Amino acid sequence: MKNNLIEKIVYEISKNTSLTQKTTQRLLNNLIKDQDIFNNFIKNLDTLKTQVSMCCICNYYKIDKKCIICSDESRDQNIICVVSNQLNVDNIEKNNQYKGLYHVLDSEINLNKNVSPNDIDFESLFKRLSKSKELILALNATFEGELTANYIYHETKKLNINVTRIAKGIPMGGSLDYMDESTLIDAFKNRKKYEV
Amino acid sequence: MKNNLIEKIVYEISKNTSLTQKTTQRLLNNLIKDQDIFNNFIKNLDTLKTQVSMCCICNYYKIDKKCIICSDESRDQNIICVVSNQLNVDNIEKNNQYKGLYHVLDSEINLNKNVSPNDIDFESLFKRLSKSKELILALNATFEGELTANYIYHETKKLNINVTRIAKGIPMGGSLDYMDESTLIDAFKNRKKYEV
């Protein structure tokens, strides 16, 4: 390909964001083809850029000056749920069940990528815990997520706080044929009375 | 989720582009988190918007005033290769083998999506063919691609032009176990002398 300008832009965007080069190419292709869509896309980004930032308490998105979670006084101020990133909060909020606060780490301990505990701002979490009664660990059930959960658990031992973690088990629609050993062990351990 | 602004932007971007809502969320999440990346992303889009458009001859990208394919006089002006979209040209050009011209339809006949032949600008293709000797159909081997190829073939019958299509067969790395009947039939029909 000799379109070096497009190639360069695809490479840069893909390097800096979560998009693959293929997805970036498709996105840019759609934008170039339609000026209206392109203008609208840029307008939306501008709105996002000027109005959205991160909450200085929980690190979730805030629009203008307020984070909708931290500023909601009806929520239980005694429970903090730790998640890896902002999208996790969106996912949990969709269910409309959890009514406590959040803390977004925006990272996980990852030895392969040289992310050690020192590279993550755990201090702002630990500071908040002095006023809390329960800390829910809702981190990914991956090696990195477990490592991070483990670190937080050990660091908060000295605090007088109830540390829980969300249940592991068979996900909805999951087939036992394809479930790994550790999930099955957890699913059996955490079995509940069958109720209809 | 009560972040209606973000939700609205994710919905709009996803509706207008090829990105899924999940991918859009991830992209925007990456952008919001890092002002430098966000600024760079917008800068790249601006460059793209001001410098890239579609070639009025072949409908491939052109940067500033020139399409690199149509303006390259060393290319064989007697062969036109028809493809569905601009990314197909990039893919073929990577191989550095084909040295003719292109024509990007930027669409395919698709009865499910109500895209009939009248919705596609075939005329600009047919006009170009009067000066050509060969028309290569390099459309997708999907129902829509075949339908489009078939339409072009029938419409160009009256023109004195050699119409070919790229070969069907087993793709590199493909396993015969998973190959469908029609591919196998084509692969056998088009078998070539084994050479090492």
- Per-residue confidence at B1, pLDDT binned at 50, 70, 90? very low
- A122 in Cβ contact with A100 (< 8 Å): no
Beta bridge partners of A164: A136
- A148 in Cβ contact with A165 (< 8 Å): no
Lowest mean pLDDT among A90-94, A135-139, A152-156, B62-66: B62-66
Cα B132–chain centre separation? 21
CB distance B27–A18 less than 8 Å? yes
The 10s digit of each residue's pLDDT in B139-164 is: 988 899 999 999 999 999 888 899 99
The 10s digit of each residue's pLDDT in A95-154 is: 888 999 999 999 999 999 999 999 999 999 999 998 899 999 999 888 999 999 999 999
- A71 in Cβ contact with A95 (< 8 Å): no
pLDDT number for residue A28: 93
**The length of chain A, given as a count of residues:** 196
CA dist., res. A98 & res. A72, Å (int): 13
Kindly tell me if the per-residue pLDDT of B181 is higher than 50: yes
Q: Give the three-class secondary structure for A45.
A: helix
E-strand spans in chain A? 52-54, 61-63, 79-83, 101-104, 134-137, 162-165
pLDDT number for residue A196: 67
- A136 in Cβ contact with A100 (< 8 Å): yes
Phi, psi of B100 (to 5 degrees): -95, -160
Phi, psi of A45 (to 5 degrees): -65, -40
CA dist., res. A113 & res. A110, Å (int): 5
Q: Note the helical H segments in A17-142.
A: 21-33, 35-51, 86-94, 123-129
* B-proximal residues of A, 3-42, CB under 8 Å: 3, 5-6, 9, 12-13, 16-19, 23, 25-34, 37-38, 40-42
Structure tokens, A46: 């501008």
CB distance A9–B47 less than 8 Å? yes
What are chain B's domains?
Answer: 61-165 (3.40.1360.10)
Kindly tell me if the per-residue pLDDT of A20 is higher than 90: yes
CA dist., res. A134 & res. A2, Å (int): 58
Beta bridge partners of B144: none
> At residue B166, what is the residue type?
I
The 10s digit of each residue's pLDDT in B10-59 is: 999 999 998 999 999 999 999 998 999 999 999 999 999 999 999 999 99
ipTM of the complex: 0.75
Phi, psi of B108 (to 5 degrees): -140, 150
Structure tokens, A162: 């109830």
Q: How many Cβ pairs closer than 8 A exist between chain A and B? A: 137
Determine the residue of chain A that is closest to B85 in CA distance. Answer: A29
CA angle B148, B150, B156 (to 5 degrees): 100
The percentage of residues in chain A with a pLDDT greater than 70, rounded to a whole number, is 97
CB distance A90–B63 less than 8 Å? no
